[in-house]
Structure 1
Amino acid sequence: MVGGGVVGLLIAYLCAKIPGTRVTVADTDPGRAKLAQAFGCCFALPESCPPSQDLVFHASASAQGLDTALSAAGKEAAVVEVSWYGASTVPVALGGPFHSQRLKIVSSQVGTIPPDRRNRWSFDRRLSAALSLLNDPVLDLLISDRMSFEDLPDQLPAFLTEPQGGLAAVVEYPEPSARLPHPLELDV
């Protein structure tokens, strides 16, 4: 797993639950090592990423991370690209080992289910499975911040842009008795 953000750590957590697997989270932030270990994974800085892996997930959303993922993939292995780049163009090193090792880059898209699984995996079944997986208290380690709904305009921009910012924030909404008025209820 290259990229130890929320998505990368959740994928690593799930993969580590598969019997017989050994999962390494590679990230530039050594502070993610404790999280990786709590999720049952090993940790490595990108330059120490173990080579010859059977399958590599990439979630760093950076060209350097994709290079790391490709260099960690073993012969004829696949790199599953789960990063979201938006409209950005990302250079990919497709020379050298990419061809000689017969590597594959597989796109991951979470918005739809493959046609051969849609009949069995309804929205309700997927939601039920996701909610049951969230029952593991170790996942609470992903929550790094708490913000009140009223403070979001002031706190959220810094949370989202600081290079070593938190992983996930819980938004605390006002009590129902202290709810914010609906715009139509305001005297303007």
Structure 2
Amino acid sequence: MKSFGSARASAPGRRHSTCLIVDGYNVLARQAQQPLGAISNLEAKRDELVADLSEYGAFSGQQVVVVFDAGRTSDRAVDEQHSWGRTIYTAPGETADERIERLVYELRDQFHHITVATSDAAEQQVAFGGGALRISAGELLKRLREAKQQISRRAAEVQAAPPRLDEALSAEVAKKLEDWRRQ
């Protein structure tokens, strides 16, 4: 099992606080409100979801693991490590549900709280049985929208705030003022 490479990583032997495991294609289908096969430019939508989840992970402080089902392809499994978590493409013959189920058991010693985001009722039951909390794909999408709104509001507040005096002064003037202060 690979460990997370996070700046917020705990000391050896200590557990992180929270982890969000996302059934990527389940969330994309919910977002589009149509089956995966009907979603045009699925790869771009997948990239958008990964970007949104990375932003959400950074904002919320959670490690995020997003799992995409590659079970019906001949592509090899991929497990990409990021500062915010991981992106996993399952192995041939392995479903996202199977991988998520394993992840819940693998990660429960590493995290105090694990939440699985999927609208698949069977997967929700398995996650709950493994000790994870569960939320629907719709609830995750709502949380992503709310986080984006909060980030936008905070960014606007920072941009609207008057600059601090030490930021508005040239380096030369700031040095002269500091020299006077020290006299």
Q: TM-score, normalised by structure 2?
A: 0.33
**Which structure has the highest helix share of the two?**
2
